[in-house]
Amino acid sequence: MSENREKYDFTIPTLGLGKVKSPILLSKVFGDTIANYVSDDEKILYHIQVDEDSPGCAYEDYGTIQKAGPREKIYFNPDHVRAGIITCGGLCPGLNDVIRSAVRTLWYRYGVRRITGIKFGYNGLLGAVEDSLMDLNPDVVDDIHRIGGSILGSSRGGGDRTDEIVDAIERLNLNMLFTIGGDGTQKGALAIAEEIERRKLKIAVVGIPKTIDNDLSFIERSFGFETAVVRATESVFAAHQEAHSAINGVGLVKLMGRDSGFIAAHTAMASHDVNFVLIPEVPFDLEGADGLFEQLKKRLERRNHAVIVVAEGAGQEHLAADARTDASGNKVLGDIGLYLKRRIVEHFDSIGYPVNLKYIDPSYIIRSSVAIPTDSLYCSRLGTNAVHAAMAGKTKTLISLLNNHYVHVPIELATRTRNYVDPEGSLWRDVIDSTSMPIQMTNPKK
Ligand SMILES: Nc1ncnc2c1ncn2[C@@H]1O[C@H](COP(=O)(O)OP(=O)(O)OP(=O)(O)O)[C@@H](O)[C@H]1O
Ligand SMILES: O=P(O)(O)OC[C@H]1O[C@](O)(CO)[C@@H](O)[C@@H]1O
Ligand SMILES: [Mg+2]
């Protein structure tokens, strides 16, 4: 097993040595009940699974990751800092919590007074919108955790115009940029940081990973994900209630999850009412003995009602090919929810076994909602650690939670691959167990 493990290079790029004494007064002594500075040498293990048969089974061979947190010596003199914060890509619960925490840490902990919010993502830096800048301070961000969305707005597209973006960053005199966004945003951030390096500028680029789909690698759980699952279970409860109260009732709920079915998988397990979970990682048939129609019929004959959860990226093979992409280059997906709704009703009508199907698509209600407390707390800590990283001169770096520690992960590593539900892993196995979805449905013979 351990032979297959890849060794990752977790080296964190920096702008230079930290020579400035941090204005945050912490301790270097363990046991004095005062929080300690974190040194660059404090690391955690990436792989914690131990395979006892293999020599040197864990430890350094498989990568150690630098812990995030306040450094005793920092790179930037806080008086000289001009920080920029940007949110890009789709909305996600907790964006405002991250902004709030970054602003408050810059202001109160480091004494930074020049903080600029860039509105509507990378397009805001490209002059595509009027009044694209916003001064940020603790008063402005005081209550923003109580509202969903991002006070800065967001957008797709434009991220590949790296030269123009760096020109704008130079014009604004920024020396640190916080990029809050998903894989696309962070790929853009890396390109920006590389151009900054080519121009021999000293500007830190630190990412805070955001994706409601939970599909970023090297991030244990992305912020907003728990909120999404909580909100999604409310829709499943409604779908179940409707289905349970009808003759041959079928509740069909479509959830987000473009390439990865984490929200669908977790919601199914958290709600205990779901019978069929359809995710992008696991193909399924509609027709045939192991197809959805036949298995749904069996379930209805047995229990009179059924609930199906489908992730938006599931079953795309059933839909007409669509070559379109959005402004960021993401593939435009076919609407699998509406397709299933139509096909299920048509099929059961055609066999003289009509069903009463209620369809719920709560996607944007979920995505724009306020973060639940556990997510809010998480966002606060990500924002704070991002500021510590930038002040210490880290760049091309993401803040992540791994093995229950806040750590620095190179953006290059985090954006190299996507995080998927492993059809052969324990999460999907437990989904199958808890829903009793027939296992043969998940292995179509094509
Ligand atoms: N490969 C890339 N290089 C440079 N910029 C990119 C790249 N991919 C995307 N971007 C830019 O990043 C921004 C956000 O990308 P995108 O719309 O794909 O959302 P995201 O950050 O992946 O978040 P999510 O998928 O959660 O919505 C856009 O402005 C887009 O132009
Ligand atoms: O409708 P939009 O804004 O293009 O975003 C939809 C996509 O954004 C996401 O919510 C990711 O942020 C995906 O789950 C979804 O596919
Ligand atoms: Mg993305």
302, 269 in Cβ contact below 8 A? no
Q: How far is the CA of 210 from the centre of ligand 3 (A)?
A: 9
What domains can you pick out in the chain, each with its CATH number? 65-223+371-414 (3.40.50.450), 226-368+423-435 (3.40.50.460)
Query: Longest C-alpha distance within the chain, in Å?
Result: 78
Q: How far apart are CA 164 and CA 159, in angstroms?
A: 10
Residue 57: pLDDT band with limits 50, 70, 90: low
222 against 1, higher pLDDT:
222
Is any ligand 2 atom within 6 A of the Cβ of residue 264?
A: no
Q: What is the pTM of this model?
A: 0.96
Ligand 3 geometric centre to CA of 211 (Å): 7
> Which residues does ligand 1 sit against, CB inside 6 Å?
88-90, 121-122, 156-160, 181-185, 187-188, 191, 211, 328-330
Q: What is the mean pLDDT of residues 111-133?
A: 95
Kindly state the average pLDDT of the residues 380-391. Answer: 98
- 301-358 pLDDT per residue, tens: 999 999 999 999 999 999 998 899 999 999 999 999 999 999 999 999 999 999 999 9
What is the C-alpha to C-alpha distance for residues 58 and 222, in angstroms, rounded to an integer?
25
Are 422 and 428 a contacting pair, CB within 8 Å? Answer: yes
For residue 129, give every residue at least 6 positions away whose Cβ sits within 8 Å of its Cβ, in sequence order, or none. Answer: 119, 120, 123
Q: How confident is the model at residue 47 (pLDDT cuts 50, 70, 90)?
A: confident
Per-residue CA distances from 32 to 25, 27, 127, 171 (Å): 13, 8, 51, 46
Predicted pLDDT of residue 61: 56
Q: Is 213 noted as a catalytic residue in this protein?
A: yes
Mean pLDDT of 243-249: 98
Residue 89 Cα: closest atom of ligand 2 = 12
How far away, in angstroms, is 371 Cα from ligand 3 center? 20
| ipTM, interface predicted TM-score of the complex | 0.98
Mean pLDDT of the chain: 94
Which atom of ligand 1 lies at the shortest distance from residue 183's CA? 22
| Range in 85-94, 232-241, 321-330 the model is least confident about | 321-330
Catalytic residue among 97, 213, 215, 273: 213
Is the per-residue pLDDT at 49 higher than 80? no
Is the pLDDT at 56 greater than 90? The verdict is no
